[in-house]
Amino acid sequence: MLTARSTPLPEVLAALPIFPLPNVVLLPGMVLPLNVFEPRYLQLVDHALNEGQHIGVPLLRPRGERTADRRPAFEPVFGLGKLVFHLRMPDGRRLIRLEGLGRVQLVRELPMTNLFRQVEAAALPEPPVFDKSTLLLLRSQIERLARLSGDDGDALGSLLALPDPRILLYALTAFLPSLELMGGHDVASAAARRELVDLQQQSLAADTPEDRLGFLVDRTATLLRRLGEVTEASILLN
Whole-angstrom CA distances from 9 to 15, 16, 82 are 11, 11, 13
Does the pLDDT value for residue 112 go beyond 80?
A: yes
Query: For the domain 4-123, what is the CATH superfamily, name and number?
Result: LON domain-like (2.30.130.40)
Residue 229's pLDDT is 58
pLDDT tens, position by position, 9-42: 899 999 999 999 999 999 999 999 999 999 999 9
Q: Which of 67-71, 205-209, 231-235 has the lowest mean pLDDT?
A: 231-235
User: What residue ranges do the domains of the chain occupy?
Assistant: 4-123, 132-237
More confident residue, 37 or 68: 37
Residue 192's pLDDT is 80
Rounded to an integer, what distance in angstroms lies between the CA atom of residue 180 and that of residue 192?
Answer: 11
Does the pLDDT value for residue 106 go beyond 50?
A: yes
Does the pLDDT value for residue 53 go beyond 50?
A: yes
For residue 30, the tally of other CB atoms under 10 A from its CB is 19
Q: Which of 32-41, 95-104, 186-195 has the lowest mean pLDDT?
A: 186-195
* CB-CB contact of 171 with 159 (8 Å): yes
Dihedral angle at the C-alpha atoms of 212, 213, 215, 218, nearest 10 degrees? Answer: 170
Residue 125 corresponds to which amino acid? P
Rounded to an integer, what distance in angstroms lies between the CA atom of residue 7 and that of residue 10?
Answer: 9
